[in-house]
Amino acid sequence: MSWTPTREAFDQYMLPNYSPQKVIPVRGEGSRLWDQEGREYIDFAGGIAVNGLGHCHPVLMEALKAQSEKVWHLSNVYTNEPALKLARTLVEKTFADKVFLCSSGLEANEAALKLARRYAHDTVGEQKHRIVSFRQSFHGRSFFTVSVGGQPKYSQGFGPVPGGIEHGTYNDLESARELINDDTCAVIVEPMQGEGGVTPGTPEFLEGLRKLCDDHKALLIFDEVQCGVGRSGHLYAYMHYGITPDILTSAKALGGGFPMGAMMTTDEIARVFVVGTHGSTYGGNPLGSAVALAAVETISSPEVLKGVEARSQRFREHLQKLNEKYDCFSDIRGMGLLLGAEFNDSFGERGREVLAAATEEGLMMLVAGPNVLRFAPSLVIELEVIDEGMACLDRALARVMANG
């Protein structure tokens, strides 16, 4: 007998570690989604910065279909053509010489942190193991990455956290200077904090970290899981800043909706990962790699990257207008198509309320913390669709305001 799942089924069958919205989207195309009742929504969430080319983009569909008729999975006992093509493309388009493929952001960061520790261990010694990270940062949910992340609520209650990890204040170079010394093996930073509130790093901060890492022979890891793959208007945000990391992690939009991650580095650092040091069953899976290759090739085209700025501008103009109308934001910030609008004190921490009202008005969007609305739409969203979605947000804000 056929069964149509409902939102209540989530509470019945799934662990209660999420609290999804009431509607269940069943189909997507470009920047639009439809729910079980056929109701249409504009998508400003992009699966939390994943659907860089929107839903069911023809180029990604073609790549997935073509590969699905060849080979789905091999494991790393064998290599495969799509993985090699993807790795070559990433090397050609970035600072990196070598790529480790995996299936998620946390896996890419776990690999990066392990690589940094092993590199320091092998080239200097065991004492050089300290990792410096920043408060409010987010690097994933494995126990190592959650401990390195700067939001203690995610690592509390799980037993002793791994040692040798310290947290400075984001965009405060002095606080980093106090922590970084010759025992530091790595500094990990998001060039733009995503989960932590959509906060771009200042050029002085990121340049200062580069210099401190050079002075103390520590590796600089850029976590570009959320802000990478075109979101900043460059293929990777490090290109915007002109600051080259030693290790870069990528995921989310890399697979355009197919679970993919990558850790990239130089030949010199990569050499310490010898056979057996690290691995992942699904890393470099042919289906994912074929889709990611199509995503990277499409997103890195000048048309797509140039288009990000025009779209970003359109979002900002609308947000300014909403602020003039409702006096609700204290700050509108971000870069490219990762934008945040922080509510002012009089509006308060009502992000979840606005999210629910927006869904009712036909708009899917995100928050980053209780008081920041976050926008991470498709990089190719049409300008008219932005206008349409912003009209929904306007009505959603009016509703929330009317509730007092």
Ligand X SMILES: Cc1ncc(COP(=O)(O)O)c(C=O)c1O
Applying CB under 6 A, which residues contact ligand X? 104-106, 109, 138-140, 190, 194-195, 223, 225-226, 251
CB 341 within 8 A of CB 329: yes
Q: Judged by CB, which is closer to ligand X: 52, or 194?
A: 194
Outline where 69-142 has alpha helix (H).
Answer: 81-93, 105-123
In angstroms, the CA 213 to CA 290 distance is 35
The pair of structure tokens assigned to 187 is 């500094």
Q: How far is the CB of 361 from ligand X (least distance, A)?
A: 25
Q: Across-strand partners of 72?
A: none
Q: Judged by CB, which is closer to ligand X: 109, or 133?
A: 109
Q: How far is the CB of 150 from ligand X (least distance, A)?
A: 11
In angstroms, the CA 263 to CA 250 distance is 6
Q: Judged by CB, which is closer to ligand X: 30, or 351?
A: 351
In angstroms, the CA 239 to CA 310 distance is 19
Q: Judged by CB, which is closer to ligand X: 153, or 403?
A: 153
Residue in the shown chain whose Cβ atom is closest to ligand X: 105
Distance between first and last Cα of the chain: 46
Q: How far is the CB of 140 from ligand X (least distance, A)?
A: 4
Per-residue exposure over 58-77, b if at least 16 CB sit within 10 Å of its own CB, e if not = eebeebbeebeeeeeeeeee
In angstroms, the CA 118 to CA 125 distance is 9
Q: How far is the CB of 264 from ligand X (least distance, A)?
A: 14
Q: How far is the CB of 146 from ligand X (least distance, A)?
A: 10
Q: How far is the CB of 328 from ligand X (least distance, A)?
A: 25
Entry field: residues in the chain: 404
Ramachandran angles phi, psi of 258, nearest 5°: -95, 135
Q: Judged by CB, which is closer to ligand X: 41, or 222?
A: 222
Q: Judged by CB, which is closer to ligand X: 173, or 263?
A: 263
Q: How far is the CB of 269 from ligand X (least distance, A)?
A: 20
In angstroms, the CA 396 to CA 100 distance is 43
Distance of CA 83 to the CA centre of its chain: 21
Q: Judged by CB, which is closer to ligand X: 194, or 362?
A: 194
